[in-house]
Amino acid sequence: MSITRSGAAAPAKSRRRLQPWEWAPYVFISPFFILFLCFGLFPLLFSVWLSFHTWDAATGLGGMHWVGIENYTFVLGDEWFQKSLYNTFWLALASGLPQHLVAIPLAFFAHTYLAKWRNTVVGIYFLPFITSSVAIALVFNSLFSRDFGVVNLALTTIGNFDVAGVHPFAWLFPTTNIDWGQPQYTKSMIAFLVFWRYVGWNTVLYLSALQTIPHDLYEAATIDGASRRQQFWYITLPLLKPMMFFAVTLTIIGNLQLFEEPFIITGGTGGLDQAGKTAAMHMYNTAFVDSDFGTASAVAWILFVLIAVLTTVNNKLFAHKD
């Protein structure tokens, strides 16, 4: 393949067919780009475009009308959106914080003490995470049923526990069935469900991080006379920090997008007084119940900005001392 030869054959070269090894790589890589364009980039850009329009989807694409930022001003001033956002943050805190406070000691305990049974125990904790959220929410619905639920049965049995006409637990436990559908209980119930569901996932994350901590550190600490508690505080926790950052980020993102569990538990309505309606549910309802896809897109982007901000804040908090 000399320069002179290729120069002489110049006219023929323009008719030269592309060889398979030249185009094949593009064919092989193309599924990703085609799928990404169809299902990733296009919906993203369409959603931005849509958020500046009114659109009732049933009218077809011709039914879009430009309204500028009206959707955004409407959403930001909307009582329902604010309420759903409050619920979302409430649930994120009430279910997210305990997840980590329990998962870290749990992982440490499993790692340190449960040599043989560790995988079994972790498997049990992990089970809720891989179970269908629909099934879980349905089971919870019957557990927390007002008249026929096991939870109420257990609570009132303790509450009505009778010792010679005296009810020793009546001050702490209910004596009549609790209506879990009431606004004051809905959020706690959902938070408990979300906590229970994801605590195993976080435990696994922390456990995998624990396994990367060199054992010599603990040995050295033991020789120096450090107790288990001290080892946990001064070795385990600091070295877990990168994983904590990762796990907390996942929790923030996951909880701000919380949808399935409250949706099924409240039958899609958010429950009485919308007590269990999250921002993601509000977005879904705006689009598919109210047929207002433009406003729903605006909700989506506002939510996106919020998640981005919170993730950045989280990043700053954890990255500060490193």
Partner 1 sequence: MRVMIQRRAIAVAVVAGLFGASASAATTITVAAFPALDAAVKAAIPLYKKTHPDVEIKLVSLAYGDHHVAMTTSLATGANLPDVMAIEVGFIGKFSESGGLEDLNKPPYNAGQYKDKFARFTEPQATSASGGLAAIPTDIGPGTLLYRKDLMDKAGITEADLTKSWESYIESGKKLKAATGAYLVASAADIKDIYIRSGLKDGEGIYFDKAGKSVVDSPRFVKAFELAKAAHVAGVDGKIGAWTNEWSEGFKRGQIGTQMMGAWLAGHLSTWLAPNTKGAWRAAQLPNGAFASWGGSFYAIPSKAAHKPEAWEFIKFLTLDKNMQIEAFRKLDAFPALIEAQNDPFIDQPIDFLGGQKARQLWKVAAEKIPAIDVDKYDSIAQEIVNAELEKVLEQNKDIPKALADAKALIERRARRR
List of residues contacting partner 1 (CB under 8 A): 54, 56-61, 63, 74, 78-79, 141-142, 145-148, 179, 181-183, 267-269, 272-274, 288-293
264 neighbors 277 (Cβ within 8 angstroms): no
DSSP characters over 256-294: HT--HHHHHHTTTTTSGGGTT--HHHHHHHHHHTS--HH
CB-nearer residue toward partner 1: 9 or 34: 34
CB count in 10 Å sphere of residue 269: 13
CB-nearer residue toward partner 1: 139 or 309: 139
Closest contact distance (angstroms) between CB of 142 and partner 1 is 6
Closest contact distance (angstroms) between CB of 48 and partner 1 is 17
CB-nearer residue toward partner 1: 179 or 219: 179
Q: How far apart are CA 168 and CA 158, in angstroms?
A: 9
Long-range contacts, stretch 288-292, CB < 8 angstroms, 24+ apart: 291/56, 291/57, 291/58, 292/54, 292/55, 292/56
CB-nearer residue toward partner 1: 221 or 272: 272
Closest contact distance (angstroms) between CB of 38 and partner 1 is 13
CB-nearer residue toward partner 1: 251 or 285: 285
Closest contact distance (angstroms) between CB of 311 and partner 1 is 30
Q: How far apart are CA 214 and CA 54, in angstroms?
A: 58
Cα–Cα distances (Å) from 118 to 8, 125, 151, 167, 230, in that order, read 73, 11, 30, 41, 22
Q: How far apart are CA 84 and CA 78, in angstroms?
A: 10
Which of 75, 29, 35, 34 shows the shortest CA–CA distance to 293? Answer: 75
Closest contact distance (angstroms) between CB of 54 and partner 1 is 6
CB-nearer residue toward partner 1: 26 or 288: 288
Closest contact distance (angstroms) between CB of 268 and partner 1 is 8
